[in-house]
Amino acid sequence: MIEIKNEFKTIQFALFFTDYDEKDTRVYRFLLPKLLTSHSNTYKTKVLMQKHLEDLYGARINTRSEHHANLSVMSFVFTIVDPIIVEDENLIDQSIKLLNDIFVDRTYFDEAIFQEEKRLLIEQWETLKDHKRVYANVEFGKAFFGDDLSGYPLSGTLEDIKKLTLSNLIDYYQNNFFNNEIKVIVNGHIEDHLSTIKSKLLIKSKNKDLNIKFNFRDLKQINQIQEETNMNQAIIKLGYQLPVFRFDPLYEAALCVDTILGGYPESRLFREIRERQGLCYDISSNYDFYKGILVISSGVAKHQKDYALAEIIKEVNYLKENDIDYEELDHAKAYLIHQIKSSLDSQSYMTKRQYFVDIFKDNTTTEKRIENIRNVSIQDIKKVIDILQLDTTYILYGGIS
């Protein structure tokens, strides 16, 4: 068990189940967390579970299914108020009892709840085209990522979901769930409760050697896709390859490039494309250090889609062809450092940060991260920009009446 001792007003019990990311298991790993936390052996309906959480002074359970590098992660974060605040010395015992009931002492899975979760997920897929941004992300992902698992839905496909049965899910829980790499992190004012937590919490950390890979496919000829639908605007997405990964020497420089390009309100794309030219409603860039890619996203007026796409590419190329100045770099660094310092006020961030530190064996301190950002040079920025290459463009635009 990993302990984070601090004076937050809440205590978090975080469970991370990590395994290799595989296409065939995505649907299981997406639905299982929802099913596990919706009911238990003792609280056999959603209503009873919710009522019990309310009785625990508004405790809450948040779940997520994610992929990082070549890993799939199911996370469960159970948050309770510090028992000192509510003057309830039994709260820790009651919380541990619930966690054991949800995860370890589990023999009951409700068919009706499973079918409801499955139906809701099927409805989301069947109405996907009504949610233009989500649909554009899915279709862009197929085009940009190709056979890479990053282009495969986290929930599995509609076909995967439809053929899933409760028996399948139970079998995965019984035979695979506890074979994951498991991390248990407890975060908060926990000094007085450690002996109780260690002795009574039945689920334990389980170390498993994982071969973590940071990679992506080779650069290809630029893939240009335009798709027409019934909408009043256009959504533009550009996928660039930026082969700088989390532990590369140029990692912090890549963060700065992303920030300068489209990562904050003073970025070039925001100032030029949105503010000066008024071509878009929103525009941003996002650097993925697991895959070594950078994606630009924008919503524009449909009649300006082609011009806006050309101007976005032009702005990126201008950045590649002309050096940035020290003031622009300093502003980007200040923004990134502020984001790091602000994140330290978030208990959930600290919990998840500790998970990444442990899973990736990353012992970089906050002070060192800030120092690395401050040390990024103009030459480092130039090296990153030089290897930034356009790979895929996708436009979803209105035109069908």
Output the pLDDT for position 377. Answer: 96
Output the pLDDT for position 400. Answer: 57
Residue 105 one-letter amino acid: D
Q: Are 14 and 73 in contact (CB under 8 A)?
A: no
CB atoms within 10 A of CB 370: 16
2-200 CATH fold: Cytochrome Bc1 Complex; Chain A, domain 1 (3.30.830)
Considering the entire predicted model, what is its pTM?
0.93
- Same fold flag, 2-200 and 223-398: yes
Q: How far is CA 183 from the centre of its chain?
A: 18
Domain boundaries, the chain: 2-200, 223-398
CATH fourth-level superfamily of 223-398 = Metalloenzyme, LuxS/M16 peptidase-like (3.30.830.10)
Backbone angles phi, psi at 235, to 5 degrees: -115, 125
CB atoms within 10 A of CB 327: 8
Look at the alpha carbons of 128, 312, 372, 291 in this order and tell me if their dihedral is positive or negative.
positive
Could you give the angle at which helices 111-126 and 166-175 cross, rounded to 10 degrees? 110
pLDDT in 10s for each residue of the chain, 401 residues: 999 998 899 999 999 999 999 999 999 999 999 999 999 999 999 999 999 999 999 999 999 999 999 999 999 999 999 999 999 999 999 999 999 999 997 899 999 999 999 999 999 999 999 999 999 999 999 999 988 899 999 999 999 999 999 999 999 999 999 999 999 999 999 999 999 999 999 999 998 889 999 988 887 788 899 999 999 899 999 999 999 999 999 999 999 999 999 999 999 999 999 988 888 889 999 999 999 999 999 999 999 999 999 999 999 999 999 888 999 999 999 999 999 999 989 999 999 999 999 999 888 899 999 999 999 999 999 999 999 999 999 999 987 54
Output the pLDDT for position 221. Answer: 80
DSSP string covering 207-255, please? ----------PPP-SPEEEEEEES-SEEEEEEEEE----TTSTTHHHHH
